[in-house]
Structure 1
């Protein structure tokens, strides 16, 4: 049987290719921008100076491997073509221009939500919220409310008198309980003015004890608000039950003699025992 000596073409990485294209275009745009600025200031060899400036400012490399360093402590070229590589950022707009852009976006948004597709989404959301509220009404010791919608997904509430905080982003989630002030604040967007200008306030950060974490592929994570809150509440209740259980801290030798094996799980709270 004959075998071909032709080599297969190397597999391409679309994401890597796109990143290289964006970086090349960003560098080209900023080269033109810098060369023009240097030329206006009367510098000779403005294009060579623009290349030098870009190299010195943005081309940082690992001293051992030579790989590009992406640490945010270094100036970087834009990682995407958002806002036309930075040349059309909102910071370049006057107050009147920002208001006009915000009004256009709001009009387009309102028009969409009045469309049949938008109304269908609204109806489905209302049904999901009603399902959640119906379930919460049956839980005498549970409160829960969402803070935001998608990225990140955040829930606050209480279970059995214990405050919880849930956060998911990038497929990874964590749950904290017993939130307490940290003593430091961060600037936070709390509202948008009619002009589209963000209203920013200093909000104190709270932290709690992380009692559970994982990824969204975990069984029971769910897809609707009710399923998500049930998942969170279940994790909190499980933690509280395990924290207050005294059975697994006692001598289980009698149980093990009956089973003829080491007890690996607490028969009361389900916590894993041993290594």
Structure 2
């Protein structure tokens, strides 16, 4: 599902973001704002996600279906500083791709059994925690 995502007040927004949303299986975007704050609110493979970035600080949350992120907090799966994470002139499309990849990676790692894991899981790539003296950092 693709709502009217094009932000007509922002001539920098690439129309191919709409194509990306339409062509990404399992992705529905229900809210998008491009500035002050930048927000992506939607579902991916049935998981409700909310990305918000303001004053260079961003976070991705997972919420229960139907929960309004303005009313309730979700599980924060990633946070960061946009200056360090994204290029200064990063496009909304590249940020949305980052959010989609982050949500899918988190869900995959949460459902992985980590069979055969040493320092890293061979199935999902998650880093395994080791006690001091067991070869960990």
Task: Quickly name the TM-score band, shorter chain normalised.
Answer: 0.7 to 0.9
Equivalent residue, structure 1, for 2:20: 135
- Structure with more of its chain in helix, by fraction: 1
Inter-partner Cα distance in structure 1 for 2:129 and 2:119: 7
Aligned-partner SS, 2:110: helix
Change (3 A) 1:268 1:222: farther
Large movers: runs of 4+ above 4 Å: 219-222
The residue correspondences of 1:1-275 to structure 2 (distance < 5 A) are 122=11, 124-125=12-13, 128=14, 130-179=15-64, 181=67, 205-216=71-82, 217-218=84-85, 223-246=90-113, 248=114, 250=115, 252=117, 263-275=118-130
The 1-side partners of 2:75 and 2:125 are apart by 20
CA shift for structure 1 position 168 = 0.8
User: How many pairs align?
Assistant: 119
Q: Which has the higher strand share?
A: 2
Q: Tell me, what secondary structure is at the counterpart of 2:103?
A: helix
List runs of 5+ in structure 1 lacking aligned partners: 1-120, 183-203, 253-262
Paired residues of 1:151 and 1:169 also in contact (CA < 8 A): yes
User: Which residue matches 2:5?
Assistant: none
SS of residue in 2 equivalent to 1:271: coil
Give the structure, 1 or 2, with the largest relative contact order (CA under 8 Å, sep 6 or more): 2
TM-score by length of 2: 0.73
Q: Using the alignment, how far apart are the partners of 2:127 and 2:74 within structure 1? A: 23
